[in-house]
Amino acid sequence: MDALSKIFDDIHLNKSEYIYLKPQGHWAYAYQEQDAMIGYVVLVGTLNIQFESQKLLQLEAGDLILIPSGQSHICRSDNKENLLEALNINDFFDKRRQETIEFGSSSGEPALILAIRCHIDTIMARPLLNALPDYIHIQHITGSTAPEWLQIGLHFLAVEAYQIQPGRDKILDHLVSILFIECVRDYIAQLSDSNNWLRALSHTELANALAAIHGKPEQAWTVESLAEQCCMSRSKFATLFSSIVGETPLAYLQQYRFRLASQHLREGQLSIQQIAHRVGYSSETAFSQTFKRLFDLTPSQYRQQFH
């Protein structure tokens, strides 16, 4: 499995939920950050979105915006701040999922927005979220210039959203996952910054080392053995890896191992000794000491927070 596929496997992109927002006239709604990715497809009208950084962006009909970290934001009918109370839409994904929610003033131009939320493991996704921008904005997704994968994906999404058929939730999860992965691949292809962790995932030489780390974290990797995966000398590999990824190969390996350990502890299905072996430690004591140094909690204390 290539590195990007394994990363998407790790972050547990699942439990996709959607609602249709149908505001009219003057309106505003807010979304509070959660452990989820959120995206909007503007089907009719316009949408002005403002992030906590005060960055303001206008979306037209036919635009898609993906907010990978699900950071808090406010959406409005216009680009002016006013005293209009913003409707909180967080609970709608749970309580009114798959519904059309109407709000706003009684007169004025209507809008129709497909809002999609997809839960992720934010600890496992941290390097990905850190490497991605606050948002990915794709314009005119229904036009002829839009990527073919996006047109096909949204068509399938629309069909599944309107039909109540067995297995629909699973299909929606897969469709949203595909859309997210394609958006990330599209973003990687346009990257101008070579010193970006995402660029390493598609790097002709480094990708093999990342695939090895993510595919077999329990293996006793050394800088030499990782360099061999890339058919490079130890020194050239170490220098290239550090310059693009931003940390040494062994530091990256340790960070990944312990993010994975934290996921196993939160899921609660394996013993601490089993988890230690899964992430390359033969000694449970050594594993526990390193875990406490990184997380300020012992593995048992960490697990108790989630069970």
pLDDT digits (tens, 9 = 90+) for 78-90: 877 666 788 999 9
Distance CA 13, CA 173 (A): 8
- The token pair that represents 175 in the structure block: 């469709």
Distance CA 110, CA 306 (A): 43
Sheet holding 47-51, edge to edge: 56-59, 47-51, 73-76, 28-31, 87-88
Distance CA 215, CA 227 (A): 16
pLDDT digits (tens, 9 = 90+) for 30-82: 999 988 899 998 888 999 999 987 788 999 988 889 999 999 999 999 877 66
Q: How crowded is residue 82: how many other Cβ atoms within 10 Å of its Cβ? A: 10
Give me the half-sphere count of Cα atoms (radius 13 Å) on the Cβ side of residue 151.
8
DSSP state of 84: P
Flag whether pLDDT at 193 surpasses 70: no
Which candidate, 129, 137, 13, 4, places its Cα nearest to that of 71?
A: 129
Distance CA 139, CA 156 (A): 19
Distance CA 132, CA 109 (A): 34
In DSSP terms, which residues pair with 57 in a beta bridge?
Answer: 49
Q: Where are the alpha helices (DSSP H) in 50-167?
A: 92-95, 126-131, 148-162
In DSSP terms, which residues pair with 241 in a beta bridge?
Answer: none
Split at pLDDT 50, 70, 90, the class of 280 is very high
Q: Which domains does the chain have, with CATH numbers?
A: 3-189 (2.60.120.280), 206-304 (1.10.10.60)
Which candidate, 180, 138, 137, places its Cα nearest to that of 157?
A: 180
pLDDT digits (tens, 9 = 90+) for 122-165: 899 888 888 899 999 888 776 666 667 666 766 666 666 566 66
Which candidate, 161, 30, 19, 179, places its Cα nearest to that of 99?
A: 19
Residue of 164 and 240 predicted with greater confidence: 240
DSSP state of 103: E
**Tally of helices (H runs) and strands (E runs) in the chain:** 13, 11
